Structure 1
């Protein structure tokens, strides 16, 4: 017997057979005005200038590992640009968003696709309005966000009908976790930017669609439209808006209502962000 290898069982084995699919017990949120629970921690990657890790609760399971969105972000810089680069009076911001191959129901490739590049553009726009860029002339900073687990229900047979609404929640998480990593790197910002999502959904028990915060795609019959906003709460400024879907023609104020509800979600996520930043400050010091 070769003790250096893991040997299989001596006799034959039978793989398990499940007669019925596993049934998940949905955890009802208090109301549609509340976002899912968020776990945020900074300083998870010592080799980077700043880093952060974010988890969002999965409302469709009661298992100990019930999280539907997992993100990690690393910040490298600011560092001097090469001598061959043209002079820039502001910092050069580079954002890179990538799904892990196992993050979604459909396996992702190792090369970024168009959806990942779009997320990177939205993330750069959201963060550019928060960073004080003229503090670091002819410098660059790289912000890398890795999506470990996407906001999807992998056991739902109707997943193909979701039409990519989970990308809104992914972008919202990318904005929040990147803001925490930037603060961990000590990069000066005018405010802590956070992301929030509001969606116009149609429920089976209701005839009229309603606006909910932080929508869980698997919990609703159909999503008609969604809006993701990046918001600076102290300055009361919006740095990025991504809207998708169609609004009812009879309600001309539906767009404004969705943006307002998205700001409420941003403020809730910002409270978690500020609390995580206060926890990383050593005792006896005050956060700047």
Structure 2
């Protein structure tokens, strides 16, 4: 009697098919040094939250096995009243929480926040506090939770290659931008939309001179000397937070000013994406210019 639960294999030997993908593989375009990667931003992705947003950076080498990208999601809960036992506050209490998913980076992350995640939360709170009109909600609180689904790292980098944490600059920039869109989606009054931008001093080849680039993908460059992440209010022309990391050659102050100015260019480009996403939320079905 034949076993009907058993799937019988083929009688003779078989060979797996081999596909020649080299002839059909499109050529990836390299990102220009004076432009940022394309950003996908969508609000209202979490119906249970007061406001939410999802951000994803386009991978310049999507067909490369060592490709990197950045995927973030943000949820805003509040404003809501603080407990009766809490002391009176004349302004809103802002609470930011940034957490990597366990599978977001090459090294598996723990379930408790480490020092880098706490640093990202502090910088994010500083960047957003300058944009929110806090005195509109006395004795109230709002929770802003950012989850990093995929970090901006090279997953196929060799084990002996040191990770100096340069990808945290791009992560913070994305956290600021996606949190700004989620806050606007929650209907919280702000003086302006805040956007994040990054500029870095890098060397593309071992013998090439250092150059300032916008929105650097760390895996594309031989060495990163310094990086600057800025949170910027374009309409008010104000900076709410600056995070500078690295060392400039010769301690050149003019070079530092140039890096900040280039970061502002990246902020303005990211702010256009935020405005477009918010316009699409307000006017669904009508494409914004």
TM-score greater than 0.5 by the shorter chain: yes
- Give the structure-2-normalised TM-score: 0.87
The question of 1:52 aligning with 2:53 is answered yes
Q: Which consecutive unaligned segments of at least 5 residues does structure 2 have?
A: 17-21
Equivalent-residue separation in structure 2 for 1:284 and 1:114 (angstroms): 43
Equivalent-residue separation in structure 1 for 2:97 and 2:6 (angstroms): 42
Tell me the C-alpha RMSD between the 2 structures.
2.7
Q: Could you tell me whether the CA contact under 8 Å between 1:101 and 1:107 is conserved in 2?
A: yes
Equivalent-residue separation in structure 1 for 2:281 and 2:241 (angstroms): 27
How far off its partner does 1:227 sit?
A: 0.3
How far off its partner does 1:176 sit?
A: 0.2
Q: Could you tell me whether the CA contact under 8 Å between 1:27 and 1:62 is conserved in 2?
A: no
Equivalent-residue separation in structure 1 for 2:104 and 2:270 (angstroms): 23
Equivalent-residue separation in structure 1 for 2:217 and 2:68 (angstroms): 12
The question of 1:69 aligning with 2:70 is answered yes
Equivalent-residue separation in structure 2 for 1:159 and 1:263 (angstroms): 35
- CA deviations on 1:202-239 (whole Å, 9 max, x unpaired) are 12175320000000001111000000000000000000
Q: Could you tell me whether the CA contact under 8 Å between 2:166 and 2:227 is conserved in 1?
A: yes
Q: Could you tell me whether the CA contact under 8 Å between 1:162 and 1:217 is conserved in 2?
A: no
How far off its partner does 1:161 sit?
A: 2.8
Partner SS, residue 69 of structure 2:
strand
Structure 2 match to 1:19: none
Structure 1 match to 2:104: 103
Equivalent-residue separation in structure 1 for 2:104 and 2:27 (angstroms): 22
Equivalent-residue separation in structure 2 for 1:9 and 1:159 (angstroms): 46
Q: Could you tell me whether the CA contact under 8 Å between 2:68 and 2:155 is conserved in 1?
A: no
Q: Find runs of 4+ consecutive structure 1 residues off by over 3 angstroms.
A: 7-12, 22-26, 282-285
The question of 1:116 aligning with 2:128 is answered no
Structure 2 match to 1:92: 93
1:250–1:46 Cα change, 3 Å: closer
Structure 2 match to 1:201: 202
1:158–1:208 Cα change, 3 Å: farther
Structure 1 match to 2:220: 219
Equivalent-residue separation in structure 1 for 2:285 and 2:230 (angstroms): 35
Equivalent-residue separation in structure 2 for 1:37 and 1:283 (angstroms): 22
Larger Rg: 2
How far off its partner does 1:111 sit?
A: 0.5
1:83–1:140 Cα change, 3 Å: same
Q: Could you tell me whether the CA contact under 8 Å between 2:233 and 2:239 is conserved in 1?
A: yes
Q: Which consecutive unaligned segments of at least 5 residues does structure 1 have?
A: 17-21
Q: Could you tell me whether the CA contact under 8 Å between 1:27 and 1:61 is conserved in 2?
A: no
Partner SS, residue 173 of structure 1:
helix
Q: How does 1:136-147 map to 2 (within 5 A)?
A: 136-147=137-148
Equivalent-residue separation in structure 1 for 2:236 and 2:203 (angstroms): 34
Q: How does 1:143-158 map to 2 (within 5 A)?
A: 143-157=144-158
The total of aligned residue pairs comes to 271
The question of 1:233 aligning with 2:234 is answered yes
Equivalent-residue separation in structure 2 for 1:99 and 1:250 (angstroms): 34
1:109–1:283 Cα change, 3 Å: closer
Q: Could you tell me whether the CA contact under 8 Å between 2:68 and 2:154 is conserved in 1?
A: no
- CA deviations on 1:44-102 (whole Å, 9 max, x unpaired) are 00000000000001112238xx7600000000000000000000000000000000000
